[in-house]
Every structure is written in structure tokens, then in C-alpha cells.
Amino acid sequence: MTQKLVIIGNGMAPGRMLEELLEKAPGLYDVTIFNAEPRVNYDRIMLSPVLSGEKDYADIIIHDEGWYAYHGITLHKGARVTRIDRAAKTVTAANGVTAAYDKLVIATGSAPVILPVPGADLPGVVAYRDLDDVLRMLEIAKQGGRAVVIGGGLLGLEAAYGLRRRGMAVSVVHLMPTIMERQLDPAAAYLLEKALTERDISILTQANTKAILGQGKAEGVALADGRVLPADLVVMAVGIRPSARLAKEAGLTVNRGVVVDDGMRTSDPAIFALGECAEHRGQCYGLVAPLYESAKVLADRLSGGQGEYQGSVTSTKLKVTGVNLFSAGDFADGPGREEVVLRDAAAGVYKRLVLNENRIIGAVMYGDVADGPWYFDMLKRGLDVSHLRDTLIFGQAVQGALAGGCGVQAPGAAVAALADDAEICGCNGISKGRIVAAITAKGLTTLAEVRAHTKASASCGSCTGLVEQVMALTLGEAYRPAAVEAVCGCTDLGHDDVRRLIRAKGLKSIPEVMQELEWKTSCGCAKCRPALNYYLVCEYPDDYADDYQSRFVNERLHANIQKDGTYSVVPRMWGGVTSAHELRAIADVVDKFAIPMVKVTGGQRIDLLGIVKEDLPAVWADLGKAGFVSGQAYAKGLRTVKTCVGSQWCRFGTQDSTGLGIRLEKFMWGSWTPAKVKLAVSGCPRNCAESTCKDIGIICVESGYEIHFAGAAGLEIKGTEILGTVKTEDEALEHVVALTQMYREQARYLERIYKWAKRIGTETIRAQIMDDAEKRQGYFERFVFSQAFAQVDPWSERVSGKDKHEFKPMAVIAEAAE
């Protein structure tokens, strides 16, 4: 007979419990979930990457709407439970919904601690616990300004990093002498503070918050020592406490949290507690790994098993890109304990193991954390390490080499030595044995399949290498990792990995990229340097100085080199429109420099061919006096916007195609892209501007503007795909710009739009640009932001996008090209 299972809370722990339960006993329960948040289940440990901009909310959803529907689960979103009636076995939510249960799981999580100081209730003071908190922070961060984070623990530092990435000036106020004092010893904390300071995050330790200052909103933080820190945003990250009020009001046994036994059962046999609200053997856990371990036990109990939770040993990693940190167990000083320490100041490496009776009881590592899983496995298993004592600190590779009598460890030996219950993926609590079992049972052969079926490496991705080693160990010769075409001979990394690592590690210069990603050459080559320069320009438009020496010669000189060694110069003509003044200026330059050939291009401009290199600065100087800027006919960027005369002159024209083309070109010129980009605007379906073979094209129709993309008319001939139709010129501009920015952020260097679209799928592009207004707006605003720092013309005073009047915020888009 089907029983009624009600779950209060829809966090990661009950989500994992349900996955286990549905696998063990499908159909045993009719499941109803009450979720206080107005959304589905998501990965809370990935909130920090959402805050920093490295992930979107859609990327961290664990169970979407379809998952609940498929399993027949009733999910009440935005329904906070206010009462448990144990006698009637019902729960009631604030919205009036009541549900009966045979078994009840309380998974109400925890609440952030808010310091009881004056001003703590001012607008602009935000806790850091859920997605709503992140959204509030992002809204304030849009305005820039200053943020003060109160609390230098794990969450506080991740919040500080995310807000800094969003452009805010950030200070961290921490009461204790060192940051993350619960997870790090003073030596590791020092290295971490140094790394954060290098990321422009100010750290104030031994700083006690006295009050939040402000009139109507937060404006500053007053410290007990008299200092005042200006603040537009104040983030409280000083700790959490279990949300046990509901259980206490229902008469259940509650200490700090809801007290449970080894089967996760409360003082009421029909009620269980799970997650951060539960207290087991006097311990409340706030990290995900122990919550997943207890979730597995509860799923077993609910399906009729006798599983027992014995408590957990936890490990910690900090989600700050470019910072490698690991800690586990108890590493405090104490009687009978000894420590083993290794420091490498030049490499920024610090390792410390704490031993008791020849067993590892604690480990803290900074800089080099590759051996963290190995130490953690031995710690959890309580292994005697006396036979490894002299070389233990040097890591597993040394042990393998010594055991084998040589200096080389066999590939995969580190993972092979791990027990089946050794944790591989800390974010999702996935063991080596579980991965092996899934690979074997389901015939998995790719990393994507392993992620889909086990969630291993599906969150922060730091364990990807370990997962791939497990796959190689399990599949043997049958394992075929996805082939990656290297950027060039200087590296084994492909374009996608290089771009991902630049973002993940916060690399901001070509030398830094080459050092951190272990380039095989000292300075790179003509193939990789332009690619790295583009990726850095795109990732950090406001913080990276475009390296012209890493551009192709045509881009450096703003001219196309010809087969005889001379150059051609193409001044920009907006939308192909010119004037007598401009034509006279061109004629004067042709006469002055004896330019042998003048030609009208296919992009409706005039090309001056046969110019010697020495004359290029003077040619551009004279053209600049007449108001010309570079047409960038050489560029990996916007080349031309071809137009017809449209409704202004043509009897068939439906819209002002010339005006729109000029507006687009003025809005987008100077924007570097992975490969050349050509646009066209045709005033009617007769398509005189040939919009249907361009990278992006617009066909003006009676009802508005039909946007096309992914055409080609070069080595490959390809008609465009239709993106969609919009009604107004403003909408057309917004959609085209957003599409261009999406391409800039995702394409590989030298990959044309049509190849990029084929690789990621045209439907994916349509979904983000046509259907998702928020994503489209984000792309558009990032393009506008990057244009404010564009460097476009080295020959004249008009070099900075900051001086280009056509770049203005979205609020005045209609006037942007005037």
C-alpha cells in the first residue's frame, strides 16, 4: 500500500535522499514537498559562482520541474510550513495548504545569524544563505560602490570574492585574528589572506562590528576601534543556526538542532529530521558531504532498511577561483600530537599533517592540494601510517615511486590505491565505488555520462581529473577521453579549456596564462598569442590592456598587407553612405601619397591599395582630419554593415534599412570578435543588401525586422538561419548586439559565427536570445560595458571607446547612435 511521505524543505539533503529512495523503492511513497522558496531544488554550494558571475541560476538547478512531474512528486513552492499536528499527522503551510503524512521529514535547514547591532535591519544589509540573498546582492552590485562583508569564514570570503568580481570595492571584517580559523591554521590563513589581498579584497582581522550606519539604507559600518568603513552593501556572514523552531513547537526534542538517532529519527517515531536542522550525537553539520551521508541512511530507513549514521569527518575547499586550499579533521595542537610541516615559499605551498598515535587526525594544505583526497581517505579510515612516516608529507606519488623502486608513478596509481568508499567528489559526496558501479552497470564511457548519472564533478568541477582517472582505471583500454585539438604546439590544452581556465583561475595577462597553464614555450607563438590576447580582452575588457604586439600584423597596422608588400587602407563609411566632403578627402589622400589604385569594395566602401608601410601613419592622420576612422577591413571584429537605400528612397522599401545599418555600425564598431563579422540590412524581402549570406543579417518586412544569422559566402557557401522577428528598430539592435556578445563569449578564436552556431546548436542560440529576456539583456549590457574600453584606432586621438559618443547605457538605446 502506498504511504504518504511529506517533506518540509527542498534543499540539497532532502533532494539527495529522494534520489536514493526513488532508486531503492520506487512507488513506495506518495511524496509531497513544501518548499519555502518559490523555486525548485538547486545546488546551494554553487551560489558563490552565481554571485561571481561564473555560473547562472539555470546552471545550478538539481531537479527541474520535469523531474518532479516524472516521479509524481507534488511540490508546493513558496509554501512555508507553519504547523505540524502530530496527533492528526498533518502539516499546514502559511498559504493554507494542508497535507497528511504517514511519515514526515523535517529538512528546514538553517538560518543566518544576524548580529544584534544598531542598523542591522537597514535596507542594504543582506545575509548570505540562499538565492534570494544572492539576487539582492547582485541588484545592489549593479550600481558598483563599496561592500563590507562581516565574517571571514568560508561563506564570507566567497561572498567577498563574488562581489569583487562584480566590480565592487570589498572589505572583509573578521572578529578573530585570522580568517577561516575553524578550517585553517594561522600559516595557511596568512597565505589565503595574501592571495585575497592580491585580488583587491581588503581583510580587516580582529575587527569588531559596532553598528551599521545610514539614513534609510546602509551607508557604512562602524567598528569598535572607531574606524568607519563606507558601504553601499553590508553582507552578514557570521554563522548559521539550525532552523528548529517548527520542530520545537510540535513538541519534538530539540537542543541546538532537532535531535535524531542513528536512523535520523526524531523523538516521534513517524518523524525524521535531515540536513542542517538535524542534531546527531550533539553535532550539527553545515557542509554538504555529511548531509549526503545522512541522506543515504534516511533513504535506506524509509525503504525498510536498517542503515545507521555514524557521524562524519568533514573536509573543506574554498570556492575562490585560483586559490587551492584543503583542510580536514582536527589540526589543533594538543597533548600526544605531532605535526609534519612542508613549506615552499617560492611556490606558495604549505602543508601540515597532524598525527596522533601514528594516525592522521588533521590536514591543512595551501597551494598544492593534489594529495588532499589521499590524506583524507587515510584520516577517515584511521590507517596506521608509521611505515610512511618519513616520506608521508611528500605525497602519494613519492610513496608509489618508492614502492616501485623508481622515480615514476604509474598513471592512475593514486586513484587505484583509494578504497571504494573514498570520496572523489566532495561537493556531491560521491565515492569511488559509486562511480565504478555506475560505469560498470550502465556502460558509461564519457565524462558527460558519468556526470549525468552520478553528479560526480558536476558542481565546481575541481575533481574532474580524479573522476577521469577512475574512468581510465575502470574502463582500461576502452576509455577514450574526448579528443581535444590543442590551440597550438605550445600547449596540450584546447581553446575551450584555455578559456575556461582563464576565467576559473582569474588569469589576467598573457605571461600569467602561460605560467599557470604550463605553456611549453617561453613566449608562445603567432598562433596562440592572438588567441590568448582575444580571450583576455573579452574576459576583462576593463582590466586588461590589449596587447597589440599579440595581434596579426594587419590588426596592428590597421591595413591589409598585399602580395607585393604594400598595404591597402579602408576608411569606414557608415552603412556604405558617404558625402562630397569625404570623397574629396579620399581624393586628396590618393593624390598626396600617389596611391596607385582606388576600388569600391563589396562592403560598400572605398579601398586605397598600394600604400607603402612608412606612409600608413600619415595616411591615417590625413583621413582622421576628415573624420574617418578605420574600417577594420583586416580585423577579427566588425567589418561592415551593408545596406540598401530602404524606405527612404526605394518604392519597395518597408523600413529605413540605411538608417538602421548606420546605427548598428556606429553602435558596434571597434568590437573585437573571435573572427571577422559582417552584417547587412535589407529594406525589403527582395534582399538587395544580400543579408541572407552574412554572419548576421536583417530583412525589413512590413511587420518589423526579421533577424538572420550564421550565413557564409567565402570558402563555404551557406544561407542564414532565422533567429526570429521583432517589431521595432530598438529591439532589432538589442537582439543583434546580444547575439554578437554571445558569440564573443562562447566561440573559439578564429571560429566564424556559422561554425560556432553549428557546434553549439541554433536552437540553443534562439532560446537565449529570443526566448530569455534576462540572458539577452545580460549579453547586451556586457557588450556595452566592453565597448566603453575598446581601443580602436592607434593612429589618431580617437582611440578610446570612452570618447565615442554613440556608446550609452541601455536606458537610452534609442539615442545611442545619434
pLDDT digits (tens, 9 = 90+) for 343-356: 775 677 888 899 99
User: With 90 as the cut, is the pLDDT of residue 359 above it?
Assistant: yes
Q: Is residue 383 classed as helix, strand or coil in its secondary structure?
A: coil
Greater model confidence, 458 or 687: 687
- Predicted confidence band of residue 519 (pLDDT cuts 50, 70, 90): confident
- DSSP-H helix ranges across 626-727: 657-668
Question: What values do phi and psi take at 435, rounded to 5?
Answer: -65, -45
Q: Tell me if the domain spanning 3-111+242-302 has CATH number 3.50.50.60.
A: yes
Q: Cα(310)–Cα(303) distance, rounded to whole angstroms?
A: 19
Domain 554-625 -> CATH class? alpha beta
User: With 50 as the cut, is the pLDDT of residue 564 above it?
Assistant: yes
User: With 60 as the cut, is the pLDDT of residue 814 above it?
Assistant: no
Place of cell 502506498: 2
Mean pLDDT, the chain, whole residue set: 88
Alpha carbon separation from 805 to 3, 14, 205, 623, 666 (Å, rounded): 67, 54, 45, 20, 9
Using one digit for the tens of pLDDT, what is the confidence trace for 93-125? 999 999 999 999 999 999 999 999 999 999 999
Q: Averaged over 400-422, what is the pLDDT? A: 61
- Of 168-182, 184-198, 778-792, give the lowest mean pLDDT range: 778-792
- Of 47-56, 398-407, 611-620, give the lowest mean pLDDT range: 398-407
Give me the percent of the chain exceeding a pLDDT of 90: 64
Greater model confidence, 400 or 678: 678
User: With 50 as the cut, is the pLDDT of residue 811 above it?
Assistant: no
Q: Cα(796)–Cα(553) distance, rounded to whole angstroms?
A: 18
Q: Averaged over 592-608, what is the pLDDT? A: 92
User: With 90 as the cut, is the pLDDT of residue 510 above it?
Assistant: no
Closest CA relative to residue 45, chosen from 587, 607, 458: 458
Closest CA relative to residue 43, chosen from 78, 11, 18, 73: 11
- DSSP-H helix ranges across 354-490: 372-381, 396-404, 413-416, 432-442, 447-454, 464-475
Q: Kindly state which CATH superfamily the domain 638-815 is placed in.
A: Sulfite Reductase Hemoprotein, domain 1 (3.30.413.10)
Q: Tell me if the domain spanning 114-238 has CATH number 3.50.50.60.
A: yes
- Predicted confidence band of residue 440 (pLDDT cuts 50, 70, 90): very high
User: With 60 as the cut, is the pLDDT of residue 390 above it?
Assistant: yes
Q: What's the pLDDT score for residue 460? A: 60
Q: Cα(291)–Cα(103) distance, rounded to whole angstroms?
A: 20
Q: Which three cell numbers stand for residue 345?
A: 615559499
Check if the beta carbon of residue 261 is closer than 8 Å to that of residue 271.
no
Place of cell 592580491: 198
Q: Using DSSP, how many helices (H) and how many strands (E) does the chain show?
A: 25, 40
- Of 125-129, 219-223, 602-606, give the lowest mean pLDDT range: 602-606
Query: Where in the chain are the domains?
Result: 3-111+242-302, 114-238, 495-551, 554-625, 638-815
Q: Cα(363)–Cα(375) distance, rounded to whole angstroms?
A: 7
Closest CA relative to residue 260, chosen from 241, 273, 277, 243: 273
Q: What's the pLDDT score for residue 409? A: 43
Give me the DSSP letters along 714-774. SSSEEPPEEEEEESSHHHHHHHHHHHHHHHHHHSPTT--HHHHHHHH-HHHHHIIIII-HH
Q: Which three cell numbers stand for residue 143?
A: 550600481
Q: What's the pLDDT score for residue 194? A: 86
Greater model confidence, 333 or 107: 107
User: With 60 as the cut, is the pLDDT of residue 677 above it?
Assistant: yes
Using one digit for the tens of pLDDT, what is the confidence trace for 771-808? 999 999 999 999 999 887 765 444 433 333 333 333 32
Q: Do domains 554-625 and 638-815 have the same CATH topology?
A: no
